A and B are shown apart, each in its own frame.
Chain A
Amino acid sequence: MGKLRLRQIPDQLKVIELIIQKRGPESGPLTQGSAYARARAEARRARATSPPPRDSRAHRRSLLPRSPAPRPRPSLEGLPEARTDAAMSELVPEPRPKPAVPMKPVSINSNLLGYIGIDTIIEQMRKKTMKTGFDFNIMVVGQSGLGKSTLVNTLFKSQVSRKASSWNREEKIPKTVEIKAIGHVIEEGGVKMKLTVIDTPGFGDQINNENCWEPIEKYINEQYEKFLKEEVNIARKKRIPDTRVHCCLYFISPTGHSLRPLDLEFMKHLSKVVNIIPVIAKADTMTLEEKSEFKQRVRKELEVNGIEFYPQKEFDEDLEDKTENDKIRESMPFAVVGSDKEYQVNGKRVLGRKTPWGIIEVENLNHCEFALLRDFVIRTHLQDLKEVTHNIHYETYRAKRLNDNGGLPPGEGLLGTVLPPVPATPCPTAE
Chain B
Amino acid sequence: MSKQQPTQFINPETPGYVGFANLPNQVHRKSVKKGFEFTLMVVGESGLGKSTLINSLFLTDLYPERIIPGAAEKIERTVQIEASTVEIEERGVKLRLTVVDTPGYGDAINCRDCFKTIISYIDEQFERYLHDESGLNRRHIIDNRVHCCFYFISPFGHGLKPLDVAFMKAIHNKVNIVPVIAKADTLTLKERERLKKRILDEIEEHNIKIYHLPDAESDEDEDFKEQTRLLKASIPFSVVGSNQLIEAKGKKVRGRLYPWGVVEVENPEHNDFLKLRTMLITHMQDLQEVTQDLHYENFRSERLKRGGRKVENEDMNKDQILLEKEAELRRMQEMIARMQAQMQLQMQGGDADGGVHGHHV
Given the interface pairs A357-B262, A357-B263, the reply to whether A205 lies near B161 with Cβ below 8 Å is yes
Inter-chain pairs besides A207-B114, A210-B110, A253-B156, 19 sampled, C-beta below 8 Å = A145-B157, A207-B162, A207-B166, A209-B111, A210-B109, A255-B48, A258-B69, A258-B74, A259-B70, A261-B107, A263-B71, A264-B71, A264-B72, A264-B75, A284-B185, A287-B257, A301-B71, A356-B189, A358-B261
Say if the beta carbon of A398 comes within 8 Å of chain B: no
Q: Which residues of A contact B (CB under 8 A)?
A: 143-147, 171, 173, 205-210, 253-265, 281-282, 284-285, 287-288, 297, 301, 304-305, 353-361, 366-367
Answer whether residue B158 sits at the interface, using C-beta atoms and an 8 A cutoff: yes
Q: How many residues of B contact A (CB 8 A)?
A: 43
Once the chains bind, are A287 and B258 in contact (CB under 8 Å)?
Answer: yes
Question: Which B residues, 78 to 120, have Cβ-Cβ distances below 8 Å to chain A?
Answer: 107-112, 114
Please, which residue of chain A has its CB at the minimum distance from the CB of B47?
A: A255
- Decide if B270 is an interface residue (CB 8 Å cutoff): yes
Cα of A258 to Cα of B68 in the assembled complex, Å: 8
Report A-chain residues with C-beta under 8 Å of the C-beta of B74.
258, 260-261
Q: Enumerate 5 A-B pairs (CB-CB under 8 Å) in ascending A order.
A: A205-B161, A258-B69, A261-B72, A282-B186, A287-B256
**Cα–Cα distance between A298 and B167 once the two chains are bound (Å):** 29
> What chain B residues lie within 8 Å of A301 (beta carbons)?
70-72
> For A361, what are the chain B residues with a Cβ–Cβ distance below 8 Å?
260
Most chain A beta-carbon neighbours within 10 Å: one of B47, B107, B109? B109
Report the minimal beta-carbon distance from B186 to chain A, rounded to whole angstroms. Answer: 5
- In the complex, chain B residues 181-196 whose Cβ is within 8 Å of any chain A Cβ: 183, 185-189
A257 B68 Cβ-Cβ under 8 A: yes
Given contacts A207-B162, A258-B71, A360-B260, contact A353 B188 (CB under 8 A): yes
In the complex, are the beta carbons of B70 and A258 less than 8 A apart?
A: yes
Query: Which residues of B sit under 8 angstroms from A359, Cβ to Cβ?
Result: 260
Separation of A128 and B259 alpha carbons in the complex (Å): 45
Given known pairs A144-B158, A256-B47, A285-B185, the reply for A262 and B260 (CB within 8 Å) is no
Q: Which residues of A contact B223 (CB under 8 A)?
A: none
Chain A residue contacts of B157, Cβ below 8 A:
143-145
Closest beta carbon of chain B to A173's beta carbon, Å: 7
Which residues of chain B from 138 to 164 have a CB within 8 Å of any chain A CB? 154, 156-158, 161-163
Chain B residues, CB < 8 A from A297: 70
Asked whether A206 and B162 contact (CB < 8 A) given A143-B156, A355-B189, A355-B261, the answer is yes
B46 located at the interface, meaning its Cβ lies under 8 Å from any Cβ of chain A in the complex:
yes
In this assembly, does B269 line the interface, its C-beta being within 8 Å of a C-beta of chain A? yes
Nearest B residue to A263 via CB reads: B71
Q: Is there contact, CB below 8 Å, between B269 and A356?
A: yes
Most buried by A among B45, B46, B71, B186: B71
Closest beta carbon of chain B to A163's beta carbon, Å: 11
Contacts A144-B157, A146-B156 known; A255 to B46 CB distance under 8 Å? yes
- Check A288–B259 contact: CB distance below 8 A: yes
Contact A261 B71 (CB under 8 A): yes
From B154, B161, B256, contact of A173 by CB (8 A) = B161
Q: How far is the CA of A262 from the CA of B72 in the complex (A)?
A: 10
Smallest CB separation, A279 vs chain B (Å):
14
Per the bound structure, the CA–CA distance linking A53 and B69 in Å amounts to 60
Which residues of the partner chain A approach B161 to less than 8 Å between Cβ atoms? Answer: 173, 205
What separation, in Å, do the CA atoms of A402 and B264 have in the docked complex?
62
Residues of A within 8 A of B264 (CB): 357
Contacts of B259 in A (CB 8 A): 288, 366-367
Chain B neighbourhood of A356, CB < 8 A: 189, 269-270
B71 interface neighbour in A144, A209, A259, A358, Cβ under 8 Å: A259
Bound-state CA distance A288–B185 (Å) is 14
Please name the 6 residue pairs, one residue from A and one from B, whose CB atoms are nearest each other, closest first: A255-B47, A358-B261, A358-B260, A357-B261, A145-B157, A259-B71
Residues of the A chain whose Cβ atoms lie less than 8 Å from the Cβ of B111: 207-209
- Residues of A within 8 Å of B75, CB to CB, are 261, 264-265
Chain B residue nearest to A289 (CB atoms) is: B257
Contacts A144-B158, A304-B72 hold; do A354 and B260 have CB atoms under 8 A apart? Answer: no
